[in-house]
């Protein structure tokens, strides 16, 4: 990924996937992993703090949270607009994901949780486990949507389900998910943001 913004200005490409996955998880967050999500936001490099924006507010149940990605003192001209765009994309993908989530079997999530809890696995091994889980879900999924979009949503749904099952895995699951998307689906993400 280049270090320039998606369109030459604004957000750096490496932050786009962070924003997208975090936005997706914020929309789907529940009390199980809300606290871990807040900690994660504060840990991400160059990130500010949780801040409500417009109609979004931090709810006690964590159901709606605004963006937390502010580049302290370094907001480039288009980055704030691009952050909003990425949040809107995350919101749309999350709503589509609501209808898709029933295709993810609890036994698959339990197996993925067990694999992610294995501290001897490398990051590459965790990405492989995620890829296998994704392919398993894809086998049972109707083919009425573009494959890349389906894979992106299912990947983020798997992250959500793992975090919901075992909140202490949120941080590692987030990073594995972001790395997996960057390696396998970033061209699709970049096109979503550009279009």
The CA-based angle 180-139-109, given to 5 degrees, is 60
Domain boundaries, the chain: 13-194
Tell me the β-bridge partners of 5: 12
Residue 170, CB half-sphere, CA atoms under 13 Å: how many? 24
pLDDT, one tens digit for every residue, the chain (195 residues): 444 455 443 566 678 999 999 999 988 666 689 889 989 988 876 444 333 333 444 443 343 334 444 333 333 446 678 888 999 999 999 999 998 998 899 999 999 999 999 999 999 999 999 999 999 999 988 778 899 999 999 999 999 999 999 999 999 999 999 999 999 999 999 999 888
Q: Are 30 and 164 in contact (CB under 8 A)?
A: yes
**Burial environment of residue 80 by CB neighbours within 10 A (0 to 12, 13 to 18, 19 or more):** middle
Predicted confidence at residue 78, as pLDDT, reads 60
**SS in 3 state form for 51-107?**
CCCCCCCCCCCCCCCCCCCCCCCCCCCCHHHHHHHHHHHHHHHHHHHHHHHHHCCHH
Is pTM beyond 0.75? Reply is yes
153, 128, 130, 178: which is closest to 22 by C-alpha?
A: 178
Predicted confidence at residue 155, as pLDDT, reads 98
**13-194 has which fold?**
Apoptosis Regulator Bcl-x (1.10.437)
151, 159, 156: which is closest to 188 by C-alpha?
A: 151
SS3 (DSSP) at 110: helix
The owner of tokens 């941080």 is 171
Write the CB contacts of 81 (distance below 8 Å, at least 6 apart in sequence).
Answer: 10
């Amino acid at each position: 990924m280049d270090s320039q913004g998606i369109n030459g200005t604004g957000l750096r490409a490496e932050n786009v996937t962070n924003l997208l996955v975090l936005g997706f998880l914020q929309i789907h967050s529940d009390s199980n992993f809300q606290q871990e999500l807040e900690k994660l936001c504060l840990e991400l490099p160059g990130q500010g703090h949780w801040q409500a924006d417009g109609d979004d507010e931090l709810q006690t149940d964590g159901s709606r949270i605004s963006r937390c990605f502010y580049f302290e003192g370094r907001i480039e001209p288009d980055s704030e607009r691009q952050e909003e765009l990425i949040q809107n994309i995350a919101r749309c993908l999350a709503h589509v994901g609501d209808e898709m989530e029933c295709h993810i079997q609890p036994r698959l999530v339990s197996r993925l949780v067990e694999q992610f809890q294995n501290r001897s696995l490398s990051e590459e091994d965790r990405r492989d486990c995620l890829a296998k889980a994704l392919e398993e879900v894809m086998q049972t999924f109707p083919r009425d949507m573009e494959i890349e979009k389906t894979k992106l949503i299912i990947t983020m749904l798997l992250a959500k389900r793992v975090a919901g099952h075992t909140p202490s895995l949120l941080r590692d699951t987030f990073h594995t998910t972001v790395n997996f998307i960057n390696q396998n689906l970033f061209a699709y993400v970049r096109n979503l943001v550009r279009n």
